[in-house]
Amino acid sequence: MASKFVKGTYVVGFGHSGRRPRLFEYLEVQQGTINIQLSHDVAEDVLIPREIIPGLDPIDVNQSFRIRACRLKEITGYQILPIDKQTGAHRGHYGEKQIEVSLKKKIDLEPCEELEVELQGFEG
């Protein structure tokens, strides 16, 4: 499997991910996501991970998640995209061309910091 590298800007989120401790425990990552604003001409395959896992917390009764292994600042984790369980419609910040990443270790970021993310699992 191949990787794609994407660049974007860190955007401070709303703190919704604090309501899904079971998801982050299952993925073995820090609780919370890092929102990264990508360019508006980014390819769809970057925005939509392939693997699907169920929502595990009460807040996610109607949603599942698409995930993809990733690396940011040498720390591994997952790109996470919430989806509607019934329709498969993308939720979260998908429409704004943002990706959400959760990592195995906490990192310090500054608002508007430029980031490069390695997204893994693409067909070679």
CATH number, position 78 = 2.40.30.30
pTM of the model: 0.93
Cα distance between residue 20 and residue 87, in whole Å: 21
pLDDT at 56 over 80: yes
Residue 54's domain comprises 2-122
Over residues 41-49, mean pLDDT = 94
As a whole number of Å, the end-to-end CA separation of the chain is 6
Q: What's the confidence (pLDDT) of residue 51? A: 96
DSSP class of residue 27 equals H
Average pLDDT over residues 73-87: 96
- For residue range 9-41, what is the model confidence (pLDDT) as tens digits? 999 976 667 778 999 999 999 999 999 999 999
> What's the domain count of the chain?
1
Q: What is the mean pLDDT of residues 81-102?
A: 92
